[in-house]
């Protein structure tokens, strides 16, 4: 009986978090409330409260769940790939595809909620900031490992290039969501490829041209 209650609780938790991630990416984390979520999902408010305890806890758990989804779509597919310029480009393609396919309805979850909490101290801010630090750190690490493997010039500034790449990707996310224009992904990809090819020891390891706009919104191959 105990195991059954735990499993039911886990299923309800997953149901709630799947719902709140979508809402938060489009409407913000502040729009979440235990009462509203329970009504929309046909659940008892007391049951949802028992699982999360407070709105702030629900917000934090929503951010953590979004991290898991992001890793599954953007990070995990690269784990077996060897370090190099091609891996760095593939990482960018995966991110642009994650945004373009609207894995989250509002585009990139973390780009969407960062502006909402950037000046609000507290656990939710800290969880978002940690996720963004981990992401930028991962991009830097992929670039630095590629440099050490000989894929990029020895003078590559991985932190600077990571900053530029992330800025282009997030601009594409904003423009595509605001204007419903998938061409923003190709523009970002063009800039990223130009930056990577200029730093590559062998530019032929990278494409000369970015994918067409529609390729960033096409269904992805399974990564699980």
Domain membership of residue 146 (yes or no) is: yes
pLDDT band at 223 (very low <50, low <70, confident <90, very high): very low
Domain membership of residue 165 (yes or no) is: yes
Q: What is the mean pLDDT of residues 134-144?
A: 98
pLDDT tens-digit series, residues 16-41: 999 999 999 999 999 898 888 999 99
pLDDT band at 214 (very low <50, low <70, confident <90, very high): confident
Task: Tell me what pLDDT residue 7 has.
Answer: 75
Task: Tell me what pLDDT residue 224 has.
Answer: 45
- Confidence (pTM): 0.91
Domain membership of residue 209 (yes or no) is: yes
Signed CA dihedral, 66, 69, 73, 79: sign only: positive
Domain membership of residue 3 (yes or no) is: no
Domain membership of residue 8 (yes or no) is: no
Q: Give the other-Cβ count within 10 Å of 195's Cβ.
A: 16
Integer Cα distance of 191 and 212 in angstroms: 14
Residues of the chain above pLDDT 90, percent: 79
Integer Cα distance of 170 and 81 in angstroms: 24
Alpha-carbon separation of residue 109 from 66, 131, 144, 148 (angstroms): 7, 11, 26, 32
Domain membership of residue 31 (yes or no) is: no
CATH code for the domain in which residue 198 is found: 1.10.357.10
Which domain, by its residues, includes 71?
65-216
Domain membership of residue 49 (yes or no) is: no
Domain count, the chain: 1
Domain membership of residue 23 (yes or no) is: no
């Amino acid at each position: 009986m105990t195991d059954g209650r735990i499993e039911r609780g886990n299923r309800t938790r997953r149901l709630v978090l799947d719902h709140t991630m979508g809402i938060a990416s489009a409407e913000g984390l502040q729009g979440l409330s235990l009462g509203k979520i329970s009504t929309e999902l046909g659940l008892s408010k007391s049951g949802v409260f028992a699982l999360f305890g407070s709105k702030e806890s629900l917000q934090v758990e929503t951010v953590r769940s979004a991290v898991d989804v992001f890793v599954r779509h953007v990070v995990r597919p690269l784990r077996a790939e060897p370090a190099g310029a091609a891996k760095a480009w593939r990482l960018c393609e995966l991110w642009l595809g994650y945004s373009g396919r609207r894995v989250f309805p509002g585009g990139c979850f973390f780009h969407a909620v960062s502006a909402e909490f950037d000046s609000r101290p507290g656990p939710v801010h800290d969880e978002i900031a940690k996720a963004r630090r981990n992401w930028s750190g991962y991009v830097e690490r992929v670039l630095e490992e590629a440099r050490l493997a000989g894929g990029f010039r020895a003078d590559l500034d991985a932190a600077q290039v990571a900053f530029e790449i992330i800025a282009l990707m997030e601009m594409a996310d904003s423009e595509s969501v605001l204007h419903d224009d998938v061409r923003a992904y190709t523009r970002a990809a063009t800039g990223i490829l130009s930056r990577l090819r200029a730093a590559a020891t062998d530019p032929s390891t990278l494409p000369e041209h970015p994918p067409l706009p529609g390729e960033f919104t096409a269904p992805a191959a399974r990564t699980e």
